């Protein structure tokens, strides 16, 4: 397994290009199942999760061709010849559940393995299933698989999500575009990835209104045609690299970054004392003088502070002047980076969904272990500020969601390298 070595203490300067959003691409790719005409995605990120989704779609009979070094995904689902999403693929990536709604809408049947939990929580999919039942699907759970049927096709309905769920909103939105009649989704998630999905489906001929608000209305249509769609920039990668100059000092311009994708996060980051400037090319973050100030953070569905940036923000708070209280309100076990940060000299007290961080002058480099995708990059950020060398092991977690981390950070002056097979 590879490790990443970081030697802290260098101020950063330069530009980092922001890639297309992993979490948008993982819902845009299953959308190809809704049409027998080609769907092409541009600005796609080169990540292992995208390769896993490619494998899953291919197992269903779809064709996915990676062009321009993976930045373009040319997909065609003209010949779907398998309606079963196998456990072997689904267990590797929970987002596989997002083929359920499109398969059901297009083919009237689908068998999808339950994804199971992951390191950050149980992550049930009950809301996905309740939403599909509301559209008239019948669902049976057998041997860990969801057997879904909609013999007479799906029918539009009004469905209120009991709690905000990004994936469930995406799954039901995709199912509803081919349902007969009108569907109204209430308490829908408002993430930019859902807005991106709705814009892509509209390009394919879907009739959708209200995406980005908590109420989305869909008029079902008989079929969707092909389209080409650019994947929205990755707001989590953007936030991660905005934190790099904040923690290491210096100034970094994140190319392609858009303020509306990260406004709550940017507000919090600015409150720590760093400067954030909207430029013609993206967002520029500069930390001129010494330590940043502590701020309190509470994660929430968009437009609140993203849970996917909580671990990275904690790394910054470990070096801040003061005490910061971080409340993780979305997932039940998303502080696994805390013990690893403490190995670097951080002072963190975790109690349930609350982590209290007392900033220290300097972190010390140490061997640490990545436990999940966002925890892995928070350890790299901490390494940028630490004295000496930090070795982050199990970086396969990182490859799921961040392309070319070493190239991007060394491009702005960080002392970072990937060590194979450690
Ligand atoms: C998406 O996961 C993202 N993944 C996650 O990013 C992100 O953390 C999460 O949304 C929240 O923003 C992708 O888009 C592929 P949810 P998702 O359904 O859809 C509970 C990353 O690091 N829930 O909004 O699975 C659930 O347990 C990943 O890129 C149910 O109870 O998240 C959680 O507590 C990590 N029943 C809360 O809702 C359900 O049927 C929010 O989950 C579904 C969810």
Q: Which of 167, 298, 335, 374 to mutate to test the pocket of ligand 1 (most atoms within 8 A of CB)?
A: 167
| CA–CA distance, 26 with 94 (Å, rounded to integer) | 10
pLDDT of amino acid 123: 78
Ligand 1 centre to CA of 307 (Å) is 9
Nearest atom, ligand 1, residue 332 CA = 34
pLDDT of amino acid 290: 85
| CA–CA distance, 23 with 50 (Å, rounded to integer) | 10
Structure tokens at 181: 């009649």
**Per-residue pLDDT for 191 more than 80?**
yes
pLDDT of amino acid 57: 98
Ligand 1 centre to CA of 385 (Å) is 30
Using the structure block, give the residue that is written with the tokens 């003088």.
289
382 lines ligand 1 (CB under 6 A): no
The question of whether 318 is a catalytic residue gets the answer no
pLDDT of amino acid 288: 82
Rounded alpha-carbon distances, angstroms, from residue 183 to 109, 159, 210, 227, 342: 20, 8, 12, 23, 49
Mean pLDDT of 31-43: 98
Question: What does the pLDDT look like over 121-169, one tens digit per residue?
Answer: 777 899 999 999 999 999 999 999 999 999 899 999 999 999 999 999 9
Rounded alpha-carbon distances, angstroms, from residue 379 to 8, 244, 249: 12, 11, 17
Catalytically annotated residue among 25, 118, 200, 318: 118
pLDDT of amino acid 121: 79
| Pair 421, 21: CB distance under 8 Å | no
pLDDT, the chain, mean: 96
**Per-residue pLDDT for 380 more than 60?**
yes
How many other CB atoms sit within 10 Å of the CB of residue 357?
28
Which of the two residues, 89 and 252, has the higher pLDDT score? Answer: 252
Sequence-distant (6+) residues with CB within 8 A of 5 are 389, 390, 391, 392, 416, 417, 418, 419
Prediction pTM value: 0.97
91 lines ligand 1 (CB under 6 A): no
Q: Which long-range contacts (CB under 8 A, 24 or more apart) does 267-276 make?
A: 268/295, 268/297, 268/305, 268/313, 269/242, 269/243, 269/313, 271/295, 272/246, 272/316, 272/320, 274/245, 274/246, 276/242
| CA–CA distance, 19 with 405 (Å, rounded to integer) | 11
| CA–CA distance, 163 with 301 (Å, rounded to integer) | 10
Ligand 1 centre to CA of 378 (Å) is 19
Ligand 1 centre to CA of 27 (Å) is 13
Mean pLDDT of 220-225: 98
pLDDT of amino acid 422: 53
Using the structure block, give the residue that is written with the tokens 């390769």.
51
Quickly state the pLDDT bin for 322 (edges 50, 70, 90).
very high
| CA–CA distance, 345 with 245 (Å, rounded to integer) | 20
161 lines ligand 1 (CB under 6 A): no
Nearest atom, ligand 1, residue 123 CA = 27
Q: 3-class secondary structure for 276-335?
A: EEECCCEEEEEECCCCCECCCEEECCCCCECHHHHHHHHHHHCCCECEEEEECCCCCCCC
Which runs of consecutive H residues, i.e. helices, occur in 159-300?
166-176, 192-203, 235-248, 263-271
pLDDT of amino acid 251: 98
Ligand 1 centre to CA of 249 (Å) is 32
Nearest CA among 422, 362, 414, 357 for reference residue 396: 422
328 lines ligand 1 (CB under 6 A): no
Sequence-distant (6+) residues with CB within 8 A of 233 are 18, 19, 20, 21, 43, 256, 257, 258, 261
Question: What does the pLDDT look like over 82-126, one tens digit per residue?
Answer: 999 999 999 889 999 999 999 999 999 999 999 877 777 777 899
Question: What does the pLDDT look like over 340-364, one tens digit per residue?
Answer: 999 999 999 999 999 999 999 999 9
| CA–CA distance, 369 with 366 (Å, rounded to integer) | 10
Mean pLDDT of 310-332: 97
**Ligand 1 atom 28 nearest Cα:** 308
198 lines ligand 1 (CB under 6 A): no
**Per-residue pLDDT for 237 more than 80?**
yes
Question: What does the pLDDT look like over 263-317, one tens digit per residue?
Answer: 999 999 999 999 999 999 999 999 987 899 999 999 999 999 999 999 999 999 9
């Amino acid at each position: 397994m590879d490790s990443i070595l970081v030697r802290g203490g260098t101020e950063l300067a330069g530009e980092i290009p922001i890639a297309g959003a992993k979490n948008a691409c993982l819902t845009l790719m299953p959308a190809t199942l809704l049409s027998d005409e080609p769907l092409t995605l541009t600005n796609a990120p080169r990540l292992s999760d995208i390769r896993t989704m490619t494998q899953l779609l291919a197992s269903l009979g779809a064709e996915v061709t990676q062009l321009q070094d993976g930045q373009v995904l040319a997909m065609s689902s003209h010949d779907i010849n398998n309606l079963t999403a196998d456990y072997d693929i689904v267990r590797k990536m929970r987002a596989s559940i997002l083929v359920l709604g499109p398969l059901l809408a297009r083919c009237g049947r689908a068998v999808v393995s339950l994804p199971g939990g992951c390191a950050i929580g149980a992550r049930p999919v009950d809301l996905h299933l309740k939403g599909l039942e509301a559209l008239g699907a019948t669902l049976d759970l057998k041997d860990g698989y969801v057997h879904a049927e909609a013999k007479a096709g799906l029918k539009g309905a009004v469905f209120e999500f009991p709690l905000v769920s990004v994936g469930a909103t995406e799954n039901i939105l995709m199912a509803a575009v081919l349902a007969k009649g009108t569907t109204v989704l209430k308490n829908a998630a408002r993430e930019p990835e859902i807005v991106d999905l709705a814009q892509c489906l509209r390009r394919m001929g879907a009739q959708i209104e209200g995406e980005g608000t908590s109420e989305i209305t869909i008029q079902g249509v008989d079929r969707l045609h092909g389209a080409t769609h650019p994947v929205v920039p990755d707001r989590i990668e953007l936030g991660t690299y905005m934190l790099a100059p904040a923690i290491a000092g210096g100034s970094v311009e994140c190319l392609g970054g858009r303020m509306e994708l990260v406004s709550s996060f940017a507000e919090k980051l600015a409150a720590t004392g760093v400067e954030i400037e909207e430029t013609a090319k993206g967002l520029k973050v500069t930390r001129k003088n010494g330590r940043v100030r502590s701020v309190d953070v509470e994660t929430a569905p968009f437009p609140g502070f993203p849970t996917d940036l909580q671990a990275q923000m904690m790394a910054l708070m470990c070096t801040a002047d003061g005490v910061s209280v971080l409340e993780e309100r979305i997932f039940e076990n998303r502080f696994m980076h805390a013990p690893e940060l403490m190995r670097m000299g951080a002072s963190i007290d975790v109690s349930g969904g609350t982590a209290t961080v007392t900033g220290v002058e300097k972190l010390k480099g140490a061997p640490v272990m990545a436990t999940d995708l966002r925890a892995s990059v928070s350890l790299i950020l901490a390494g940028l500020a630490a004295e000496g060398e930090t070795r982050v092991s199990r970086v396969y977690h990182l490859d799921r969601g961040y392309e070319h981390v070493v190239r991007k950070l060394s491009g702005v002056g960080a002392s970072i390298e990937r060590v194979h097979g450690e």
